[in-house]
Amino acid sequence: MSAGSPVPRKRPRHLIDPDAPRPSRDLVAERRSLTRVQQWVLSALAVTTILHMSGGLVLAAMFLPEERGVGAQVGLDVIAALFGVMAVAAGLAIHRRSPLSPWLALGVVPGIVGVWLTFA
């Protein structure tokens, strides 16, 4: 090297180098990923909230006074089953799937469990 030429200084790695920019990320894929996470969080919240309502109806049927009759208990269990079906349909709709699916049969489980707990 000659005496008059400046020595190039090496940049620290944590600083931005304008001569070598970072490769750009695929923003579309990143947004898709974020949308997917948002769908899962929203569906988990919606389904668990509706299933808690269904469980509350089952508990109400279990502790309903006997003078109200068996019909009231069965009615609450049927409503619990309907709320279970609504929970499954809401989860499917949030994920942009058809709510009319064989998975709706899973929503009847709270009502069946409710009838079993109420009368067993």
Q: What is the mean pLDDT of the chain?
A: 88
The string of DSSP codes covering 89-118 is: HHHHHHTT--S-SGGGGGGGHHHHHHHHHH
Per the CB < 8 A criterion, the answer to whether 104 and 89 are in contact is yes
Confidence band of 30 (pLDDT split at 50, 70, 90): confident
**pLDDT score, position 7:** 75
Report which secondary-structure segment, H or E, holds 8: none
Per-residue pLDDT of 70-120, as tens digits, reads 999 999 999 999 999 999 999 999 999 999 999 999 999 999 999 999 998
**pLDDT score, position 13:** 66
Per the CB < 8 A criterion, the answer to whether 84 and 109 are in contact is yes
- State CA 84 to chain mean position distance: 15
Task: Note every long-range contact of 98-101, with CB atoms under 8 Å and residues 24 or more positions apart, other chains counting.
Answer: none
Higher pLDDT, 107 or 34: 107
Lowest mean pLDDT among 34-38, 49-53, 107-111: 34-38
**pLDDT score, position 92:** 96
The pTM of this model reads: 0.73
Report the length, in residues, of the chain.
120
